[in-house]
Amino acid sequence: MKKTKPDPIQVSVLQRRLKSITEEMGLTLLRTTRSPILNEARDFVTGLYDAKGQMLEQTEYIPVLAFALQPACENVLRFFGDDIHPGDVILHNDVFSGGNQNNDVAVFKPIFHGRKLVAWAACKGHQADIGGAVRGGYNPEAREVWQEALRIPAVKIHERGKLRRDVWNLIFANIRLRIVEEDIKAQIGGCTVGERGFKQLIARFGERKLAGLIGHLFDSAEKMVRKEIQAIPDGLYRGESWAFYDGVTDGTKMKINLAVTIRGEAVTFDFSGSSAQTPGFVNAPYSATASALLLTFLMLIKPDIPHNAGILRPIRIVNPEGSFLNARFPAATTFGNSITGPTSDAIFRAFSLALPKMVTAGWNRFLGFAVSGHDPRHNAPYVDILFLSLKGGSGGTWMADGYDHIGLINCAGGILAQDYEMFEIHDPHFLIKHEYLTDSAGAGRWRGGLGVETEFVMRGEDATGVAFGDGVEEEARAFGFFGGKPGWKNAITLKFPDGKERPVKTKEIVRGIPAGTVFRQLAGGGGGYGEPFERPIDRVLEDVRNGVISAEAARRDYGVAIDPDSLVLQKDATEAIRKAKA
């Protein structure tokens, strides 16, 4: 008998339908969650998984969550085995059993057809608090996981449709903020929306036919990725990069050692030989490193390939336990997502020979500063992660400048900077400046994206700031590629009312910041790509006229002579400089 081939039209239709179900789940969370990090910064993901926990389709608003749910879903299945029933709801955050960050709490809901488990609906979101020693979860002083968070291994909060009140109370008795309870309820609501949508698909196609179509959906995504890998020349490609300061000992640096092997249609990423885990929180759980790797890899291939488990099939990851990229229990790991920048750097470097036109130069590394304190205007506490000040530039690439003010590669432009007016209405802060930082972009035929400069007066009382990030060291500047120059580095300083200035370390809690302190941050630019002297003269002139490159830098880095007062191009001088270089 001829083997039945699934109808490609129906597969197309199914993929579109699955996508719209996860989008609907996402909109439900946007509407119903209370914490701004969920409904404003959109730090969550919604997805559907098959009976084995394989990702069918997902809607994420920031890339670092693109593959954050599947490992946890597989763990839930392993743990509960056949003890999974209609009406169950399972909670999970544990980074030592598939979680990617303590604050990211996942809700899983099994979907049944009759008595048969056929799929899962899941939502994972970054919670405003998760217990531990420090409100909000970022604790540079942590030395083990319990100082960071409440661990939630796979646990049923609903069993056969009934809320387990005792378990629920145990969990929320250990979390500071009540809105977290509300947000978890919203995530359960999102899963119910997903379950309803999936059941409609079963009604429409029939369970067996649906399973066949899903198989074909995986195959089709796999085929697309294999074709992309096939196009890369076989070989072993190495890339390394560094993360700086472990938050415990000044001057420390951690190495990422990456070997990429391309053989035919398959790729192996091997992190063996990377630095050992650190005593502080600068460690990643396995899932965080895998997410960082996958989001960077997705940037190297066609952007329109559907994101389902099929694309993982040709990819093998070797990441031995005990390194700071796969820390051993009970390490502190909250910084893990922030190692995405250094990991991406290593990947771009490794692929620079294999896919020279797809890699970007280095992205500005993430440096965040979360402020909390007392707002005298409302006599109430306030808290803010300063998204507006931390968004630097991305690296240039073949045929495109880096993206200005895009921010960390984990989010790739998915998280918005605060609006200035809303920022001043919400927080006791008075802005002085927020503009592109001149000469911050690494020079190149395609220059890096611009960084920004932010200055504001802190008028909150008894404020505390938690710094977490990277990129202040000379070596941590966003690197240039193929003759391109590095971007400008990060810096945060506090100028106290008594006039004293204090630079802030990249991992540090600053307590007792007085009202009237001026906060200043430079978020650096991305690295440049290609010889700067090959950049068209009119593009350089345009940047100088716009004041984002100084006349001095134009002459030095690009060999373009421009009169600094009139901003008129000096043609002869330019020709002479460029000729001398050639």
Partner 1 sequence: MGFKIGIDVGGTFTDFLLMARGGRTSVHKELSTPADPSNAVMAGLAALAQRQSIPFERFVREIERIVHGTTVTTNAVLTGNAARTGLLTTRGFRDALQMRRGVREEMYDNRYHPPAPIVPRYLRLPVTERVDAGGAIVAPLAAADVAAAIERFRSGGVEAVAICFLHSHANRRNEAEAARLVREALPEVYVSVSSEVLPQVRFYERTSTTVLNAGVGPILSRYLRSLTRKLDELRYRGTLLIMQSNGGVASPQAVARLAAMTLLSGPAAAPAAGLACMAAQRERSFITVDMGGTSFDAALVRNGAPAVTTSGTVNRYALALPSMEINTVGAGGGSIAWIDDGGLLHMGPQSAGADPGPACYGRGGVEPTCTDANLVLGYLCAEFFAGGRIRLDVRAAERAIRDRIAKPLGMDIVEAAHGMYHVINVNMASAIREISVQKGYDPREFPLICAGGAGPIHGAAIAAELGIRRILMPRESSIFCASGMLRTDLKHDYVRSCAGALPAGGGDSGRIHELLREMQAEARVTLKGEGIALRRQRLRCSMDLRYLGQYHEVNVEVPEQAVRKSDWNAVRRRFHEQHDRLYGYSLREEGTTVELLNLRLGAIGLTAKPRLERRARASASPRHALKGTRLAYLPGDRKFGKVPVYDGDRLGHGNRLAGPAILESVNTSIVVPTGYRAEYDALGNCILTT
302-331 binders of partner 1 (CB under 8 A): 302-306
Binding residue for partner 1, selected from 403, 468, 481, 488, defined by CB under 8 A? 403
Rounded distance between C-alpha atoms, residue 505 and residue 477, angstroms: 16
Instruction: Tell me the three-class secondary structure of 61-102, residue by residue.
Output: CCHHHCCCCHHHHHHHHHHHCCCCCCCCEEEECCHHHCCCCC
Q: Which residues contact 157 (CB under 8 A, 6 or more apart)?
A: 89, 90, 91, 163, 164, 167, 168, 171
> Look-up: residue for tokens 């395609």?
446
- To partner 1, the closest distance from the beta carbon of 81 in angstroms equals 34
Nearer to partner 1 among residue 221 and residue 513 (C-beta): 221
DSSP symbol at 391: -
Contact present, 437 and 353 (Cβ < 8 Å):
no
220 binds partner 1 (CB under 8 A): yes
Q: Tell me if 199 contacts partner 1 by CB under 8 A.
A: no
Cβ 450 to partner 1 shortest distance, Å: 9
Three-state helix/strand/coil letters over 114-135? CCEEEEEEEEEEECCCCCCCCC
Contact yes or no for 326/278 (Cβ under 8 A): no
- 97 vs 372 by CB, closer to partner 1: 372
Q: Is the dihedral of CA 131, 133, 135, 137 positive or negative?
A: negative
299 touches partner 1 (CB under 8 A)? yes
CB of 417 to partner 1, least distance (A): 5
According to the binding rule CB under 8 A, does residue 515 interact with partner 1? no
CB 333 within 8 A of CB 101: yes
Residue with tokens 């830098």: 553
Q: How far is the CB of 68 from partner 1 (least distance, A)?
A: 15
Which stretch, 85-93, 257-265, 283-291, 395-403, contacts partner 1 (CB under 8 A)?
395-403
CB of 289 to partner 1, least distance (A): 19
* Cα–Cα distance measured from residue 14 to residue 294, given in angstroms and rounded to the nearest whole number: 24
Q: Minimum distance from CB of 66 to partner 1 (Å)?
A: 9
Nearer to partner 1, 119 or 298 (CB): 298
* Chain residues 58-97 in contact with partner 1, contact rule CB under 8 A: 62-63
In terms of phi and psi (left: phi > 0; alpha: psi -120 to 50; beta: otherwise), the region of 547 is left
Helix 551-558 vs helix 537-545: crossing angle, to nearest 10: 160
Question: Tokens in use for 177?
Answer: 């903020």
Distance in Å, CB of 52 to partner 1, minimum:
21
Identify which of residues 25 and 577 has a Cβ nearer to partner 1 in the complex. Answer: 25
Q: Which of 76, 123, 130, 221 binds partner 1 (CB under 8 A)?
A: 221
Among 3-11, 120-128, 262-270, 274-282, which window interacts with partner 1 (CB under 8 A)? 3-11
Minimum Å distance from CB 143 to partner 1? 34
- What residues between 517 and 576 interact with partner 1 by CB under 8 A? 542, 545-548
Interaction between residue 400 and partner 1 (CB under 8 A) = yes
Window 6 to 25, contacts with partner 1 (CB under 8 A): 8-9, 11-13, 15-17, 20, 23-24
Q: How far apart are CA 483 and CA 533, in angstroms?
A: 9
Of 88 and 228, CB closest to partner 1: 228
Residues 6+ apart with CB under 8 A from 5: none
Q: Which of 153, 212, 215, 413 binds partner 1 (CB under 8 A)?
A: 413
Interface with partner 1 in residues 348-387 (CB under 8 A): 358, 360
Least distance between partner 1 and beta carbon 245 (Å): 26
Q: Extract the tokens encoding 40.
A: 């404003």
- Please identify, using beta-carbon distances, which residue of 149 and 441 lies nearer to partner 1: 441
Q: Which of 117, 213, 406, 441 binds partner 1 (CB under 8 A)?
A: 406
- 373's CB contacts (< 8 A; 6+ apart) are 381, 382, 428, 458, 460, 461, 462, 463, 464, 513
Q: How far is the CB of 51 from partner 1 (least distance, A)?
A: 23
Strand order from edge to edge, sheet including 507-513: 380-385, 367-375, 461-469, 507-513
Return the bridge partners of 435, or none. Answer: 453
Site for partner 1 in 25-44 (CB under 8 A): 27, 31-32, 36, 39-40
Q: What DSSP element (H or E) covers 372?
A: strand 367-375
Contact 73, 87 (CB under 8 A): no
* Under rule CB under 8 A, residue 432 binds partner 1: yes
Give the C-alpha separation, 480 to 372, whole Å.
36
Binding residues for partner 1, total number by CB under 8 A: 76
Q: Does 516 bind partner 1 (CB under 8 A)?
A: no
Interface with partner 1 (CB under 8 A), residue from 295, 325, 327, 540: 295
Binders in 238-277 for partner 1, by CB under 8 A: none
Give CA–CA dist 90/107, Å, rounded: 6
> Which positions from 434 through 493 interact with partner 1, judged by CB under 8 A?
434-436, 452, 455
Least Å distance, CB 147 to partner 1, is 28
Report, in angstroms and rounded to the nearest whole number, the Rg of the chain calculated over CA atoms: 25
